[in-house]
Every structure is written in C-alpha cells, then in structure tokens.
C-alpha cells in the first residue's frame, strides 16, 4: 500500500512578487524546500511508497494478535491408542465379566477338591444368533434326526434375553468352580459371532474329556408355569449318537444339581415339567445325544412368567443360581 499524505504532493511553482522583504524571504525558502523534496523522494523508495513493514514472527503474532492462526495440534493418540480405547469400551459393555478369557482357560487351576477335574460349561445360545439366521437355521445331524444348528433362545417380556442370562450365570459359575480347583472350559464366551452349533457344543465337551458338562438355559413357557428343571439324556443309539455310557452318570449329575439348586436359590422344581421332581429325560437334544461324557441341561426358570422374570433379571439371584449349579457339580465329582 502506498503511503498518502500531505508531504507527497510536489510543491507548486512559486508566485512572483515584486519587491519587498516578503519577496526576498520567499526567494530564499524556495531552494530549501526543493532540496527537502528531493531528499524525501530519494529516501522513500520508488513511487514515493513507504518502506515495506516487517510482520511480527508467528510467536509474536500468537501472543499479541487475536487473528493469529495456531498451527494444527497433533492428535493425542495414534491409531493404535484409539484401538486400545475401543477394546476397553467393548470390555465394559461385556460386563459382568471384565475380561474375555479363551475357551480353554490359561489360568492355572487353584488348589481345591476339584483339582485335576475338567468341567465344560455351555452357555446356551449366543447374543449374535439373531443376526445370523441363515447360519443357525442350517440343519445338523444329532444322531436321531437332523435339526437346526442353534436357535436364538427366548427372552423376558421386557427384552432380557436368554443368551444374556446364560452367559452371565456361566461366568459366575466358572469363578466358583475355579475356586474349587477345577479347570473350566467354555463352548462360547460371547466371542464367536453366532453359535456354535449343537453338534460342535457336544464335541467340545468330548474333546476335553470333561468330567462333567452343564448347558445353562432358561425356559420360555406360558405365564404361570414356574420353577427350574434339569434335562437328562435318554438312552439313544442311532447313527453318531450313543448315550449308553453316560445315561447313568448324567442322571447322578442332574440329581445333585437339582437338589443343590433348591438349597441355594429357594426355587421350587418346575410345576409344569418333571412331575415335581425337577428332572426331565429327552432324546431330541443334539447336545445330549452326541455327548460321550456326563452332561445335563438346566432350565433355571421360566423367563415368560412375571415372578420368574423377577428372579432371572436379579444379579443376586443369578449368583445363587450359579452357586446351586456349582454345588451340584462339586457334589457329583467328589462322589
């Protein structure tokens, strides 16, 4: 920008006056003014413009001017750090358990009455089954017939799912059994996106050479139907299914669990299945038909009944349920 001011205008030619002191004075001043003008022109740069001003440095501008633009700040975390935070959020959402141990726990077994014993816990269904209907509807061979790989399970009338319930109780059960010295393995711990299929669940127990397997469930019967029941394998020999060696020990396991479940929870045996015994024998469940080790299912209550719903949605009651199942397993394995 050019500087514009009164000193930038060239002097007008002097008027001629005749005679007198004023004329003499003006004649003396004219050369002086002209010399001053020439000096100004020589020192003010081309075109009479002002010498360029030097802008303050970035740091000075930031300190003394609100128009200063700060340099972009670096992100506080790199990509890896962000991923680590996502992992923490996922673990918080997976509560009540704060970690995701593998199916075969790497934690050393504690000393206790069950040291050396292997227990497989099978949390029924899977939280992701509903998003994988094509996969879980695939038919698999369960010995006596073919049936769906898995199902979504039931839920309470207020939306608490069986898969949530079974995983929570199973994790509580694992903690109790490990304190007794048992090695505990899961068929799924909320880690696979769906399943596994019922035949694979049976295979996991078989391959582990488990001393006992318990599949944790809750029922979805009509309102008014209340209580728990334990499902035992029937005598089956068809195709890949042969329960002849596990029927007797499985019944012993189921009876121990039923008795201890009453003591721990105060719940009564089912009023709609088992004729008041809390025991039910079935031959249509692939998880039982294909098992070669002692195995039972437990339906801890009826999620569709309001009174049972109040129980299964209570963390305190779920702890009692886990305690009852654990006590039954301990009693069975100790003889």
Distance of CA 30 to the CA centre of its chain: 92
Confidence of residue 107 (pLDDT cuts 50, 70, 90): low
What is the residue extent of each domain of the chain?
Answer: 1-8+19-51, 103-334
Confidence of residue 110 (pLDDT cuts 50, 70, 90): confident
Q: Which CATH superfamily is domain 103-334 in?
A: Zn-dependent exopeptidases (3.40.630.40)
- Residue at token pair 């189921």: 254
CA–CA distance, 111 with 70 (Å, rounded to integer): 62
3-state SS record for the chain: CCCCCHHHCCCCCCCCCCCHHHHHHHHHHHHHHHHHHHHHHHHCCHHHCCCCCCCCCHHHHHHHCCCCCCCCCCCCCCHHHHHHHHHHHHHHHCCCCCCCCCCECCCCCCCCCCCCCEEEEEECCCCCHHHCHHHHCCEEECCCCEEECCCCCCECCCCCEHHHHHHHHHHHHHHHHHHCCCEEEECCCCCCCCCCCHHHHHHHHHHCCCCEEEEEEEECCCCCCCCEEEEEECCCEECCEECCCCHHHHHHHHHHHHHHHHHHHCCCECCCCCCCCCEEEECCCHHHHCCCCCEEEEEEEECCCHHHHHHHCCHHHHHHHHHHHHHHHHHHHHC
pLDDT at 329 over 90: yes
pLDDT of residue 36: 52
Catalytic pick from 162, 255, 299, 309?
299
Taking only the tens place, the pLDDT of each residue in 132-152 is 999 999 999 999 999 999 999
Confidence of residue 111 (pLDDT cuts 50, 70, 90): confident
pLDDT at 109 over 80: no
Confidence of residue 290 (pLDDT cuts 50, 70, 90): very high
pLDDT at 3 over 50: no
Instruction: Give percent of the chain with pLDDT exceeding 90.
Output: 67
Backbone angles phi, psi at 170, to 5 degrees: -65, -40
pLDDT of residue 186: 98
Whole-prediction pTM: 0.69
Is 299 known to be catalytic? yes
CA–CA distance, 194 with 179 (Å, rounded to integer): 29
Q: What rounded mean pLDDT belongs to the chain?
A: 79
Q: Find out whether 213 and 122 touch, Cβ atoms under 8 Å.
A: yes
CA–CA distance, 242 with 234 (Å, rounded to integer): 10
Taking only the tens place, the pLDDT of each residue in 43-99 is 444 433 333 333 333 333 333 333 333 333 333 333 333 333 333 333 333 333 333
Q: Find out whether 262 and 207 touch, Cβ atoms under 8 Å.
A: no
**Which tops the pLDDT comparison, 284 or 102?**
284
Taking only the tens place, the pLDDT of each residue in 198-250 is 999 999 999 999 999 999 999 999 999 999 999 999 999 999 999 999 999 99
pLDDT of residue 29: 52
CA–CA distance, 39 with 27 (Å, rounded to integer): 20
CA–CA distance, 51 with 43 (Å, rounded to integer): 9
**Which tops the pLDDT comparison, 3 or 33?**
33
Taking only the tens place, the pLDDT of each residue in 4-28 is 333 334 444 444 444 554 444 444 5
């Amino acid at each position: 920008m050019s500087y514009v001011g009164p000193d930038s205008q060239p002097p007008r030619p002097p008027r001629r006056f005749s005679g007198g002191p004023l004329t003499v004075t003006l004649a003396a001043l004219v050369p002086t003014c002209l010399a001053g003008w020439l000096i100004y022109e020589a020192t003010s740069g081309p075109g009479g413009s002002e010498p360029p001003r030097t802008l303050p440095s970035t740091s000075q501008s930031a300190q003394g001017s609100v128009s200063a633009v700060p340099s972009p700040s670096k992100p506080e975390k790199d990509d890896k750090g962000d991923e680590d935070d996502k992992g923490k959020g996922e673990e918080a959402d997976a509560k009540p358990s704060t970690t995701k141990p593998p199916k075969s726990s790497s934690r050393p077994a504690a000393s206790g009455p069950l040291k050396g014993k292997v227990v497989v816990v099978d949390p029924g269904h899977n939280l992701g089954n509903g998003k994988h209907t094509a996969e879980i509807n695939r038919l698999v061979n369960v010995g006596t017939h073919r049936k769906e790989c898995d199902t979504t399970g039931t839920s309470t009338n207020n939306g608490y799912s069986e898969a949530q319930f079974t995983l929570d109780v199973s994790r509580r059960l694992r903690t109790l059994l490990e304190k007794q010295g048992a090695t505990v393995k899961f068929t799924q711990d909320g880690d696979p996106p769906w399943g596994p299929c019922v035949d694979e669940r049976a295979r996991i127990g078989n391959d582990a050479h488990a001393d006992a397997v318990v599949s944790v469930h809750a029922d979805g019967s009509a309102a008014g139907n209340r209580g728990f029941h334990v499902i035992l394998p029937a005598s089956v020999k068809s195709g890949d299914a042969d329960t002849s060696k596990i029927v007797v020990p499985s019944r012993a396991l189921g009876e121990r669990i039923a008795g201890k479940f009453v003591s721990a929870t105060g719940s009564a045996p089912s009023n709609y299945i088992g004729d008041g015994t809390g025991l039910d024998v079935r031959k249509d469940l692939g998880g039982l038909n294909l098992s070669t080790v002692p195995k039972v299912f437990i339906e801890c209550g009826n999620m569709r009944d309001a009174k049972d719903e109040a129980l299964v949605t209570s963390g305190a009651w779920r702890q009692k349920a886990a305690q009852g199942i654990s006590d039954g397993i301990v009693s069975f394995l100790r003889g």
